[in-house]
C-alpha cells in the first residue's frame, strides 16, 4: 500500500525529530527519503504555510518538535479540524520534567544547538582529531584527551571522529611491526590510551574488501593471514606494555565502542570526564 | 529544588533517546550529566535489574525507547505500581505510522544502526573526508561527492566531518592568495563545489581567538583586517570563476550550513542525491 506522507516540523534544525522519525520508520521497513522536513518554524505565519501544504495531502502523519506553546496549540487545533495524525515528540517529556521539578519550560526554540562555548569546543575537538589522525604528528599524543591505537582496519579514524563530535580530542596512532610507535604513548597515563583489536578473520575479510575497493590484487600481503597475525601479535605486545584497555571491535558498531569508552572513562575518572562535567 | 532523577532505557545504543532527553532538559536549564543511561536492555531480566535501581530513588522520570511489546508492557505496569513518571519516546509515533500504513511494527531492537552496507559506506565516507581534508591531496577532488572551498576559519573541516557522517565523501580545499588552488576544482561540475565565506569582522575575531589558543601574539598578520580582506577578495574571485554556490557561515551552526547544502543538492539533483536515494 501507499506509505503515508510524513511531515516533520521543527522550530530548530530538526535533528532530534529526524532521529526519532528514522528510528520509528526503521521498525516498518519503510523508505525514509520522503520525509518532508520543515525547519526553523518560529511563527504562526511560517507554520500556516506548512499547514497549507499538509492540507493538500492524504494519509498524513505529522511529527513535530515545537517548544513554543502558541505554535503547539495552533498545530493541535489544525490537526483536529483536518483530522490528520499528529505526533508530539517532546510534549510528554516536557510535561514530565515540569511535574517532577516544578519548573516551567523556557519555551525557547533552538537552545540545544546554541553557538556557545561548548559548540566551539566541539569544533576544536573535530579539528584536533583530524589533525592528529593516523599518527601524523606525535605531539598530538601529549595534548589529546584520548589516544587510540590499533593495526590497520580497526576503525580508528571513524571512532576518533565520532568521539570528537562528543567533544573529545583524540589522537590516533597506527601500529605495525616495521616501525616503533612514538615514545609519547608511554609518557601519558595508561587510562588515556585505548587499544583496538579485531579478529584475524574479520581483518582478513575487511582488508580484502579494502584492496578490492582500491583496485588492488586481493593476495597482497596486507590481507594475508600470516601478516595479520604478525601485526596483531605486535600490537598486543605494545598494548600490554602500556597497560591500556583493549577493546575487541569485531562485533561492535562505532557507537558501541564509543559507549564502552565513555563507561571506562567514568570508572577511571580521567581528566576527560572532569572536563566534560566542568 | 533537587532535580529529578532521570533514567533512559534503550534496547539499542540509546542515541535517539539521549537526543530527545537533551532537547527536553535544555528547555529547563537543567544539568544533563545525571542521566542514568541503560542501553541494550533486551530481556525482561535485564529490565528488572534497572527497575530495582529505579525503585530505590525518589522523584524519578524514566524515558524509554523500547520496541519489543513485552518489555514496553512490563515497564508500563511497573511504573503504574511504583507511581513514577514514564515517557515513551517512540510509542505515539509507532502507533501513528501503524495506523497510517496498516503495517505492523517489526518490534526488532537496534535496526537503525545495523552494520549493513550503509554503515560501512558511512565509515568509508569519514575516512575519505579525513584523508582529503585541508587540500592534502588534489586527487580527492575528482573522487569526492562534494568539494568545499574557503579561507582559513570558515569551518571547512567540521562541516566536512558532519557531512561525512551523513555518508557524503568530501574533499576540502583551503584558499589563500599565495598559492593557486589545484586545477581539479575547475574540472568537476560546479554543482559539486560549495564555497564558504564569512564576514571580515567574524573572521578577525575567530582568528584572534585561534592565535590566543595557540599562544601566539594576536597582531599576527593572520588576524589582521587587511590580510583578511585580501583573502576574502581572492576567494571570491575563485568561487565566481567556478560559478559555485557560496554560503555565508557567519550566522550558521555547522548543522544549518549542512542543511542548506542538502537542500541545494536536492534542487541541483547532483550525483550525491542519486547515490543517497539508490
pLDDT, tens digit (0-9, with 9 covering 90-100), for A164-218:
998 999 999 999 999 999 999 999 999 999 999 999 999 999 999 889 888 888 8
CA distance B137 to chain A (A): 15
The rounded distance, in Å, linking the Cα atoms of B121 and B127 is: 10
Is B154 annotated to bind ligand? yes
CA B54/CA B7 separation, integer angstroms? 8
- If one compares B276 and B134, the residue with the highest pLDDT of the two is B134
Chain B contact set for A107 (CB, 8 A): 27
Name the band, by pLDDT with cuts 50, 70 and 90, for residue B140.
very high
Cα–Cα distance measured from residue B47 to residue A41, given in angstroms and rounded to the nearest whole number = 38
**In this structure, what C-alpha cell is assigned to residue A47?**
507554520
Measured between beta carbons, which residues in chain A are less than 8 angstroms from residue B108? 27
CB contact under 8 A, A89 and B90: no
Interface test with B, best of A97, A258, A272 (most B CBs within 10 A): A97
Please check whether residue B196 is in contact with residue B159, taking contact to mean a CB–CB distance below 8 angstroms. Answer: yes
**Span B150-172, pLDDT tens digits:** 999 999 999 999 999 989 999 99
B153 labeled binding residue: yes
Helix (H) or strand (E) holding A267: helix A254-268
pLDDT of residue B277: 37
Chain B nearest C-alpha distance from A196 (Å): 16
Residues 6+ apart with CB under 8 A from B38: B7, B8, B9, B10, B14, B50
Domain A5-113 and domain A117-277, same fold? Reply is yes
Q: Which residues does chain B have within 8 Å of residue A67's beta carbon, measured at their own beta carbons?
A: 27
Residue B44: pLDDT above 60? yes
Residues of chain A under the 70 pLDDT cut: 1-3, 31-33, 111-116, 270-278
How high is the pLDDT of residue B275? Answer: 47
Q: What is the pLDDT of residues B67-116, one digit of tens each?
A: 999 999 999 999 999 999 999 999 999 999 999 888 888 888 876 555 56
Which residues on chain A are in Cβ contact (under 8 Å) with B135? none
pLDDT tens-digit profile of B193-211?
999 999 999 999 999 988 9
Looking at every residue in chain B, the average pLDDT score rounds to 89
Is A197 annotated in a binding site? The answer is no
Q: Do A20 and B20 lie within an 8 Å CB cutoff? A: yes
Quick one: pLDDT at residue B68? 92
Name the fold adopted by A5-113. Rossmann fold (3.40.50)
Testing the interface with A: which of B25, B83, B161, B269 to mutate, by most A Cβ within 10 A?
B161
ipTM: 0.76
Q: Give the residue from chain B lying closest to A92, CA to CA.
A: B87
- From A76's Cα to the closest Cα of chain B, the distance in A is 15
B102 is in an annotated binding site: no
Nearest CA in chain B to A109: B27
B28, B59, B100: residue with CB nearest A4: B100
**Which pLDDT value is given to residue A277?**
38
- Distances in Å between the Cα of A30 and the Cα atoms of A7, A25, A35, A63, B89 are 14, 6, 11, 16, 19
For B238-250, write each residue's pLDDT tens digit.
Answer: 999 999 999 999 9
- Render pLDDT for B213-259 as a digit per residue (tens, 0 to 9): 788 888 889 999 999 999 999 999 999 999 999 999 998 889 889 98
Cell of B170: 568530501
The CATH number of the structural domain formed by A117-277 is: 3.40.50
pLDDT at B272: 53
The residue with cell 542538502 is B262
Q: Which of B96, B114, B135 to mutate to test the interface with A (most CBs of A within 10 A)?
A: B96
Question: Residue B45: is its pLDDT beyond 70?
Answer: yes
Tens digit of pLDDT for each residue in B179-194?
999 999 999 999 999 9
Query: A100 near B61, Cβ under 8 Å?
Result: yes
Residues of B in contact with A158 (CB under 8 A): 122-123, 126-127
For B23, the closest of A65, A134, A256 (CB atoms) is: A65
Domain ranges of chain B: 5-113, 117-277
Comparing alpha-carbon positions, the chain B residue that sits nearest to A111 is B26
pLDDT for the residue B276? 42
Amino acid at each position: 500500500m501507499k506509505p503515508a506522507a510524513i511531515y516533520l516540523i521543527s522550530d530548530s534544525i530538526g535533528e532530534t525529530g529526524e532521529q526519532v522519525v528514522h528510528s520509528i520508520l526503521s521498525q516498518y521497513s519503510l523508505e525514509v527519503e520522503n520525509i518532508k522536513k520543515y525547519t526553523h518554524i518560529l511563527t504562526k505565519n511560517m507554520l500556516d504555510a506548512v499547514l497549507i501544504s499538509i492540507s493538500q495531502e492524504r494519509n498524513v502523519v505529522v511529527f513535530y518538535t515545537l517548544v513554543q506553546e502558541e505554535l503547539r496549540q495552533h498545530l493541535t487545533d489544525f490537526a483536529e479540524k483536518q483530522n490528520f495524525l499528529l505526533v508530539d515528540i517532546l510534549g510528554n517529556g516536557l510535561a514530565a520534567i515540569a511535574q517532577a521539578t516544578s519548573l516551567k519550560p523556557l519555551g525557547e526554540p533552538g537552545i540545544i544547538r546554541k553557538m556557545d562555548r561548548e559548540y566551539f569546543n566541539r569544533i576544536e575537538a573535530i579539528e584536533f582529531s583530524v589533525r592528529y589522525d593516523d599518527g601524523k604528528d606525535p605531539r598530538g599524543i601529549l595534548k589529546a584527551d584520548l589516544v587510540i591505537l590499533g593495526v590497520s582496519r580497526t576503525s580508528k579514524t571513524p571512532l576518533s571522529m565520532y568521539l570528537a563530535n562528543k567533544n573529545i580530542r583524540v589522537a590516533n596512532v597506527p601500529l605495525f611491526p616495521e616501525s616503533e610507535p612514538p615514545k609519547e604513548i608511554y609518557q601519558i597515563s595508561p587510562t588515556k590510551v585505548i587499544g583496538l583489536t579485531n579478529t584475524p578473520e574479520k581483518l582478513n575479510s575487511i582488508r580484502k574488501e579494502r584492496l578490492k575497493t582500491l583496485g588492488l590484487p586481493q593476495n597482497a600481503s596486507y590481507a594475508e593471514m600470516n601478516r595479520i597475525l604478525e601485526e596483531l601479535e605486535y600490537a598486543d605486545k605494545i598494548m600490554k606494555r602500556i597497560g591500556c584497555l583493549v577493546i575487541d571491535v569485531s562485533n561492535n558498531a562505532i557507537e558501541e565502542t564509543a559507549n564502552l569508552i565513555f563507561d571506562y572513562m567514568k570508572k577511571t575518572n580521567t581528566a576527560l570526564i572532569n572536563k566534560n562535567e566542568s
